[in-house]
Amino acid sequence: MSEQAVAALRAGGAVILPTDTVYGLCALPAHEDVLFDLKGRDCSKPVALLAADIDSLLAAVPGLDRPVLERYLPGPFTLVFGDLGVRVPSLPRSAAAVVREVGVVAATSANLAGGPDPRRVEEVPEAIRAACGAIVDAGELPGVPSTVVDLTGEEPRILRQGAGRVP
């Protein structure tokens, strides 16, 4: 586990972590504003809550429906429940250890707003890399973002087609 990444998160900073899709820019939920600042992202566009496993996600957000979560997760999906997006990606071991240690993180792709999704740490903009308290490098990732599925209606609705195929 990257103790440096855990320490940076607990200090209110941002870190770069690999996921099953692209490199993510992460912070503890209480400090998610740092993500908007680093990306130049509009605060009206929410970030997702990311956990290492479904149990950790349910501990953070007890009202979520476990059977619905288990239909999609873990995997390359962001599930939208009202104004909350959640992810339980199949994390590389090093990133999973960091997220398990802190519980959950607020996460978004580690790019500038509207920029390309980073497959490698070197593709994360230098300004973001320089401002992060730690970077966990897992080599090259697939580079296709998660599929975003809105679960607020009677039927699932795909808001963004990405790496996941709806089961």
Q: For residue 119, report the phi and psi dihedrals to the nearest 5 degrees.
A: -90, -25
pLDDT at 79: 97
Q: What is the pLDDT along the chain (167 residues), one digit of tens a residue?
A: 589 999 999 999 999 999 999 999 999 999 999 999 999 988 888 899 999 999 999 999 999 999 999 999 999 999 999 989 999 999 999 999 999 999 999 999 999 998 999 999 999 999 999 999 999 999 999 999 999 999 999 999 999 999 999 87
Q: How do the domains of the chain map onto residue ranges? A: 3-155
Q: What is the pLDDT of residue 167?
A: 78
Residue 167: Cβ-neighbour burial (10 angstroms; 0-12, 13-18, 19+)? exposed
User: How high is the pLDDT of residue 19?
Assistant: 97
The domain made up of 3-155 has a fold known as: DHBP synthase (3.90.870)
pLDDT at 1: 54
